[in-house]
Amino acid sequence: MGDSNLKSAIDEKNILMWFRSDLRLSDNRALQGALKQLDLLNKEKAGTSSLFALFIVSTGEWQEHDASKFKVDFILRNVEKVAEKLKTFGVPLVIKTASNKKSVPNAVMEVCKLYHINEVYCNIEYEVNESKRDEKVKVLLMQNKILLKSYHDQCAVPPKEILKLNSDKPFKVYTPFKKAWMDVVYQNPRHLTLSNSLPSPSFRQPTLPSRYPCAFTSSIPKSADGFALSEEIQRTALELYPAGEVKARERMDAFIAEKLGNYKEDRDFVCKPGTSVISPYLTCGVISSRQCIDMAQKVNNGKLETGDPGAVKWILEIVWREFFRYILVAFPRVSKSLPFIPEASMIKWDEKDGHFDAWKAGLTGYPLVDAGMRELVSTGWISNRIRMTAASFLTKDLLINWQKGEAHFMRHLIDGDLASNNGGWQWAASTGTDPKPYLRIFNPLLQSEKFDPNGEYIRKWVPELRSVKSNKAIHDPFNRLQRDQFNQLGYPVPLVDHHKTKAKAEKVYGAAIHLGGEVSKQSHHKHKGQHEKKRQV
């Protein structure tokens, strides 16, 4: 680069869009902001500003968060789709690597220096570690006179807007949160308005490759260290979860056309393909919650809470997703693997040797639980009904700490997401939000009989039981088959008797809540006494 070109490059004010868990171009709040600012700069500087994009491959962060091989593979395939689309507009996607979250600020700074970046745009990630990481990035950029502009994009309604509605006292239960969420949306429809974040058809940066040729040389790795899929699993991933915004929209279109009408009834039946399986795309930001709500609203005459029961139920599931993100922001302790309900830390877990391994392997002797755990490992996904049943069985029947189950799910789920996974596990373990006046314990046999009545799901994922002809025996082969018939199956004897473990769980949980309540009272009286002494002084 000659002296004159070097001077013009130094005078440039370029924009950087930092992609993270928002791997799409459409309806992307930060990208919309970046394009608007770029347009303003080019009007001021006669077209001398350019847009760059960044994605950081941070294997250390993925390992810290127990990201699954399925998820990392899906992320990288979607990054490739983003890069392809950006390239059509002349925008390079720069790939940087960072060994851990501490390395991320310097990685961002290196890109800013190399391409004369003046402003960095990104969407907010709400987890505690990510918030701290981004604050360090912001400080480092500010020290170098570079602005970091962040946007609320993961949730249709920013969590703190809901917080303000309750006098800054966080909601702890879904139903009042849902009401507040709806109130905000009705009063401010802009929250559900899709962002015009795609570059215009005429948008081009024709001179950028010649000015910054190295920006277009980044290659996206096919896999990351420690996250490579086997060939067989890779084929499964490609078939079940094709990458890209187009595929996400196609999946949503098909779901709405074929399943939405019966979604409320069919979503729990594990033998039916009644769910959308859009969660992997939501988790990685390949599609936004606003887009999902918008598509459901359009077939429901613009309504959110009334109209078609399937559409309403689908929309409310998105609101549940937003609720768990709200909890993450309002109660940061859940990001630190702590129970939402403080008293739950008193639970005396009673894990027996081999039980956790048997649960992970799908060898508990409870067919529905075992089918789900095997599907999880094979495909990286299971329905919400199976997640709840398996989680309840681990925590209530086996009395194993929910934190171990939460981590196992994260290590295998393609849609592994801290807010939703933690929220779901704590809900099932009765340590989280929406506590009932009684202990929530799923009966795995009744769940099996109700939601897989003919045993289709069980026979698919538990081959040892395919020879069982009776649709009644398939749910409880140990107790409903002759002993010699059962012994020929090669299927394990149930680890526990549900009725006995239910009674035990009720005692264990009851003792924890009582003990926790007593500790809380003592603490309250102690602080009250201290306060009175200070007041007397």
Q: Which of 53, 64, 76 is nearest to 103 (CA)?
A: 64
Annotation says 317 is catalytic: yes
Candidates 314, 425, 427, 461; catalytic one: 425
* H/E element, 22: none
Q: How far apart are CA 409 and CA 124, in angstroms?
A: 24
Cα dihedral 251, 197, 325, 319 in deg (nearest 10): -50
Query: Six-digit token pair at 427?
Result: 């809900």
Query: Six-digit token pair at 153?
Result: 């994009």
Annotation says 349 is catalytic: yes
Cβ neighbours around 504 below 10 Å, total: 15
Q: How far apart are CA 126 and CA 108, in angstroms?
A: 19
Candidates 127, 245, 317, 375; catalytic one: 317
DSSP, res 393: I
119-to-38, 51, 53, 141, 471 alpha-carbon distances in Å: 10, 10, 12, 9, 63
Annotation says 262 is catalytic: no
Q: What angle, 0 to 180 degrees and rounded to 10, lies between the N-to-C axes of helices 231-240 and 367-379?
A: 100
Candidates 42, 106, 384, 443; catalytic one: 384
46-to-11, 342, 426 alpha-carbon distances in Å: 12, 59, 55
Q: Are 401 and 409 in contact (CB under 8 A)?
A: no
Candidates 12, 100, 118, 320; catalytic one: 320
Q: Which of 126, 117, 127, 125 is nearest to 148 (CA)?
A: 117
Annotation says 320 is catalytic: yes
Q: How far apart are CA 369 and CA 373, in angstroms?
A: 6
Q: How far apart are CA 277 and CA 252, in angstroms?
A: 9
DSSP string, 241-263: S--SHHHHHHHHHHHHHHTGGGH
Candidates 62, 402, 427, 461; catalytic one: 402
Classified as helix, coil or strand, 94 is strand
User: Which residues have C-beta within 8 Å of that of residue 193, sequence separation ≥ 6?
Assistant: 290
DSSP, res 194: P
Residues with catalytic function: 317, 320, 349, 384, 402, 425
